[in-house]
Amino acid sequence: MDYLNNIFPLSTFYLDKFSCLTNFALRKGNAFSNPLTKIMTTEQFPSKLLERAVSELAKLPGVGRRTALRWAMYLLKQDARRTDALAESLIQLRHDVKFCKVCHNISDTDICEICSNSQRDHSTICVVENIRGVLAIEATAQYRGLYHVLGGAISPVDGVGPADLEIESLVERVKAGGVHEVILALNPTMEGDTTNFYITRKLGEYDVQITTLARGLSVGDDLEYTDELTLGRSILGRVPIEK
């Protein structure tokens, strides 16, 4: 129970309540038959293999031991072929996945599908912090250019400097020619702004247009409830209306 207390200080309180309910149910003669609840009420796992699986699953972001245990029990109930397929896909993901040599996007080949697609606009590069940025922009179906994944943003507090990011390789791409526009699509944070500023300076000597994503009001926002920073950026970044 110690581990639960570390993760969730109120767990003892809830487990006490839970024990009361269990005892009540036992007295009433309808004990819980779910093996999960039986395990949750004991301190030790009945199997070292289960304990190991739960420990590994609980290391994933946002997964506590309770969720890890639920997943492990679910997987145990599944057909062995299904769990084999899951394990295999994770092993392959870790060992076989590559990063595109041009844009550093995740890929199954040395050059990713986007970079090797002749239908896309090779004169425009959209710079994003990470692969999630690529996925988000691709999901809009509004962009047909290429990408450049930096691998993060400049953050002195976290010890991330320009040399830790794929900034030099971006400069090299622009230097090679054929790029007319670089879109800076970093997160609207202090780190993102710092990185935008740094990249803009690095690309200053090249004949390339540098743009950033429009910032400000979201669709459906109400002016009255919009914070000053967002509204201020919206006024500064106002756009003409086509007549």
Smallest gap from Cβ 119 to Zn ion, in A, equals: 14
| Smaller CB separation from Zn ion, 111 or 217 | 111
User: Would strands 121-128 and 181-184 be described as parallel, antiparallel, or unpaired?
Assistant: parallel
Residue 53 CA to residue 70 CA, distance in Å, equals 11
- In the chain, the largest separation of any two C-alpha atoms, in whole Å, equals 81
Residue 100 CA to residue 130 CA, distance in Å, equals 13
Residue 73 CA to residue 80 CA, distance in Å, equals 13
179 binds Zn ion (CB under 5 A): no
| Smaller CB separation from Zn ion, 54 or 100 | 100
Region 108-127 residues binding Zn ion, contact defined as CB under 5 A: 112, 115
Q: Which tokens hold the place of 120?
A: 């896309």
Site string for Zn ion, 61-100 (x = CB under 5 A): ---------------------------------------x
102 binds Zn ion (CB under 5 A): yes
| Smaller CB separation from Zn ion, 47 or 117 | 117
Residue 79 CA to residue 162 CA, distance in Å, equals 48
Q: Which of 53, 54, 69, 103 binds Zn ion (CB under 5 A)?
A: 103
Smallest gap from Cβ 231 to Zn ion, in A, equals: 37
Smallest gap from Cβ 173 to Zn ion, in A, equals: 11
| Residue 145 main-chain phi, psi, to 5 deg | -90, -160
